Chains A and B, each alone.
Chain A
Amino acid sequence: MKYSQLNQFARAIAWIAGVAVSQAGFSQEAKDPLTAWGVPDLSGVYAEFTVAPLERPVELGEQEFFTPEQFAAFEQQRLEQVDEDDETQAGTPEDVHYDMGTFALSENEGVTSPNLRTSIVVSPSNGRIPPLLPAAIERREAVAAARAGREFNGPEMRSLTERCIVWQSTLPPILPRGYNSNLQIFQSPGIVMIQGEMGDPRIIPTDGRELPENLIPQWNGTSVGRWEGDTLVIETAGFHPDTHWRGSSEHRRVTERLTRIDADTLEYAFTVEDPHTWAEPWSGVYPLTEMDALLFEYACTEGNYGMANILSGARAAEEEAAE
């Protein structure tokens, strides 16, 4: 076991025991738990990446936490998979891929939050997202049918991510992703702002206002926040109907709860509800680990060579097929 794995393991054990340990190089100075205007200070740069998968492997049933032995085996398997992905043979089509390691984007090179949970989803108790309702399956099939055979016709047929419109995992509820899985929180009186490294700045008023009644569709939805003791509670609704996040509709509503649990760690908990999509709300939780780091500008559309390459590749393939 490498040092980083050992450290990760120790932090996971400590985290579940509720004991703060500082990770080498990332320990923070003790800071005032409150801002100058008297609300909990959540500001900082945080790593979102954590080992727990979003959904629990079915074979683990109702088991909420790994045993130390299970965790070690799970982590070993995960690391081997990540390493395997990088081992492609030069000159083969498989070798044409992002080499995350080159740009320090590999999930083994960033900060990973310790976590012994077997899944981010904690409710329902099987740790899995409830099945889609029939209406949601119909919606999903209608979207797929509208694209079928036209996926490469033009830019508007590509995914929201390829189009640089949104990364679904940066929308509420924020979920860890393979790289750039970091965010920053700023606070000002009456405002909390969450900026994902690949997301849009979410300006969340905490001045007592409620969500407006007639919400204008927004890719990131419209959020309002309030303080409940030490916890920031954020309610978000009014998502853009074309978001289709995990099969959900524009009626999706998300509640996020951010709480500092030690000097380096926030707990991020969320509940998703959409009666047009799932029969019951579902919830998740994972830790955010503070880093001594800066987020750099993520100018997506300005450097979107991928879209031009995808479309020109499709045109080349069509020409080839026609010959």
Chain B
Amino acid sequence: MSTGRIACLAGALLVFCAAHGDGVLEELPRAADGHPDLSGVWQALHTAHWNLEPHASDFPVLLALGAQFAVPPGRGVVEGGTIPYLPEARAERDRRHANRLADDPEGKCYLGGVPRSTYMPYPFQIIQSEDDIIIVYQYATGFRRIFVDGQDEAPLDSWMGWSNARWDGDTLVVEVTGMNGLTWLDRAGNYATETARVTERYTPLGPNHLEYTATIEDPAVFSRPWTIRMPLYRIVDENYRLLEFKCEPYAEEKIYGHLRKPGTESPEGASSQ
């Protein structure tokens, strides 16, 4: 048992433990204003990043990648099973799936957008300040500022969108608009467009788990709003901290390789000034 855990079990130090966010928490931390304090590092543990819809296991996108990069199976996270695409939009999803090796923005290290950033296989950190809530995603060092009780609208579209939030009891409800429609929803080609409105709900299930739902409305591609639902898990390692996943170098050959000087190769670990 770690010393942090012992201190937490000492009872009198509960608040101290909660404030530090170290280890497994015994009680739901609350901010000075009484709302849950969602601060901490969280991660989804799911195959949603492969495919939001139910899916059997499958071959990797390149056969040479072998079994360790094959697609693991999942029951899906869409309420009711499948995404209510309009017919042409489903055909577009299928086209994207066929071209995913070239076209998935994740392969290019592009920002993940919302909700995809939440369930990519990387941790993210919520920082709850007195006014706003910040989310920092390890993937591509993505960043969102969430305006609690904010009323403003996006001045222009962006990858991570514009987030206004409100508290509904212990649930943080975030309305996301102003996304540029260039992101995907998963590695299977599921997508929404720049007219999408995403409503996220972060509800504590206890001190170490959140229920995450995201309702996606986009009349350009869906016949009705639809919802995904999954738990998020607090990373309880003591002194855990996000490390950088700055993925630009890993995408350079994919994006710019065709512009390389003929006969030269990408020197692994090449450095420049």
Contact = CB atoms under 8 A, between A and B. Distances in A.
Interface of A: 35-37, 43, 140, 143-144, 146-147, 150, 152-160, 163-166, 186-191, 193, 195, 200-201, 203, 205, 207, 209, 212, 216, 218-220, 222, 241-242, 244, 295-297, 299, 301-302, 307-308, 311-312, 314-315, 318
B158 interface: yes
Q: When A and B form their complex, which 6 residue pairs have the shortest distance between CB atoms, in order from nearest?
A: A311-B259, A242-B271, A156-B270, A36-B32, A155-B252, A297-B158
Given A209-B239, A311-B256, A315-B259, A191 B127 contact: yes
Contacts of A144: 273
A193 B134 contact: yes
A94 B259 CA distance: 25
B125 interface: yes
B261 A155 contact: no
B271 A143 contact: yes
Contacts of A314: 261
B73 to A, nearest CB: 32
B158 A216 contact: no
Contacts of A216: 243
B143 A218 contact: no
A163 B248 contact: yes
B77 interface: no
B39 A189 contact: yes
A188 B35 CA distance: 14
A268 B257 CA distance: 41
Contact of A308 (B108, B140, B259, B269): B259
Given A156-B270, A186-B132, A222-B241, 20 more contacts: A43-B131, A146-B271, A154-B252, A154-B259, A154-B261, A155-B255, A155-B256, A159-B273, A189-B19, A190-B19, A190-B21, A191-B39, A195-B143, A201-B141, A207-B20, A297-B160, A302-B108, A307-B256, A308-B259, A318-B261
Nearest to B244: A218
Contact of A203 (B125, B248, B253, B266): B125
B244 A200 contact: yes
A200 B109 CA distance: 15
Given A307-B256, A308-B259, A147 B111 contact: no
Contacts of B158: 296-297, 299
B13 interface: no
Interface string B244-271: 1010110111011101110010110111
Interface in B103-150: 108-111, 125, 127-132, 134, 136, 140-141, 143, 145
Contacts of A150: 264
10 contacts: A37-B32, A43-B130, A43-B131, A193-B134, A218-B244, A244-B271, A299-B110, A299-B111, A301-B110, A301-B248
A276 B24 CA distance: 41
Contact of A193 (B37, B127, B160, B249): B127
Given A163-B252, A165-B249, A201-B143, A193 B136 contact: yes
B129 A164 contact: no
A190 B261 contact: no
A190 B256 contact: no
A103 B91 CA distance: 40
Nearest to A205: B241
B145 to A, nearest CB: 8
A156 B108 contact: no
A140 B267 CA distance: 19
Nearest to A217: B244
A299 B141 CA distance: 10
A200 B136 CA distance: 9
Nearest to A311: B259
A222 to B, nearest CB: 8
Contacts of B108: 301-302
A19 B50 CA distance: 58
A160 B273 CA distance: 7
A287 B127 CA distance: 26
Nearest to B127: A188
A188 B159 contact: no
B64 to A, nearest CB: 22
Contacts of B270: 156-157
A218 B159 CA distance: 24
Contact of A153 (B143, B261, B271): B261
Given A144-B273, A156-B272, A297-B159, A190 B259 contact: no
Contact of A200 (B37, B111, B246, B260): B246
Nearest to A313: B259
Nearest to A185: B129
Contacts of A212: 239
A311 B260 contact: yes
B143 to A, nearest CB: 5
Contacts of B160: 297
B102 interface: no
Contacts of B257: 154
B78 to A, nearest CB: 27
